Amino acid sequence: MLAAGCFVLCFFLLLAPLSPCASLPAEKPSRAKSPLTVLMDFESPHSETSLASLRQNLTQILTPSGLSVDVELRKDLPEHAQFGELVIFKMRGSCRVGPLLQKPHTDPHSEKSGPLAMAYVSDGEVLHFGEVECDRVRAALQRILGVGGSRKNQETFGAALAIVIAHEVYHMLGNATGHTRDGLTKASLSADELVSPTLGLPPRAISAMREQR
C-alpha cells in the first residue's frame, strides 16, 4: 500500500516484434562525493554468473556520471552497516535463466505484461527504492536467450539487468520523473537494445544525475 501522494514510476519493454543508444559522451567523468551502494534483495535464488555480469556492466554504464559503484546483497550485510549514497532494489522473481526455471502459470501473458522495473515517487521526489521484475526481463529476452542456462546466457541476462537497474538509478539520483529521447533512459527499450553493448547514458541523463549531487 503506497502512502498518500506516492505513485510508481515504471519502465516498460517496447513491444514491436518482440519488442523494453546512444554512445557515451566523450567527457571526463566528475569525481563522486561518495561511492554509490546498490543494495539488492533477492526474493529467490539467483545466478552468481548473472550477478557478476550485472556488477561489471552496471559499473561500466554509470562510470561516465562520476559514480563509483558498489553492489551489495542485503543478506550479506554486516550488522550496523553504513553507506554514503544508497539505492535499494527488490529483485522479484527468478533472477537467472534456464529451462527448469519456467514456472507454470495460469495467465500466459503474466510474465510479459507490465513494467520491467519501477521506482517510487512521493510528493514529487523519486525515492531511492525500486523493484526489478526478473521474470519479465527474462521473458523479454526469450527470443534471444531461448531457454538454455549456459554461462553466456547468464552473463547476457545479467547485462540486461544492469541496463534496467541503471535506468532506475537515473530516476533516483537525478530525481527525474521523465525520460530522455535516447540512450538507456528512454521510456522503453527493445529486447535487442537490452542486450546491446553500446547502450549507454545520454548526456542529458548524466547532467541530471550530476546536478543532484
- For 64-102, how does the pLDDT look when each residue is reduced to its tens digit (9 = 90+)? 999 899 999 999 988 888 888 999 999 999 999 876 444
Question: How many alpha carbons lie under 13 Å from residue 67 in its C-beta half-sphere?
Answer: 29
**Domain annotation covers residue 21:** no
Q: Per the structure, how many domains does the chain have?
A: 1
**Domain annotation covers residue 18:** no
How far apart, in Å, do the first and last CA atoms of the chain sit? 30
The confidence score (pLDDT) of residue 8 equals 61
Measured distance CA(104)–CA(102) in Å, rounded = 7
**Domain annotation covers residue 122:** yes
> Per-residue pLDDT averaged across 24-43, rounded?
67
**Domain annotation covers residue 201:** yes
User: Whole-prediction pTM value?
Assistant: 0.81
**Domain annotation covers residue 93:** yes
Measured distance CA(152)–CA(195) in Å, rounded = 12
**Domain annotation covers residue 24:** no
For the chain, the average pLDDT equals 82
Place of cell 500500500: 1
Q: Which domain holds residue 185?
A: 6-13+32-97+111-208
Measured distance CA(13)–CA(143) in Å, rounded = 14
**Domain annotation covers residue 179:** yes
CATH number, domain of 164, equals 3.40.390.10
CB 19 within 8 A of CB 68: no
**Domain annotation covers residue 172:** yes
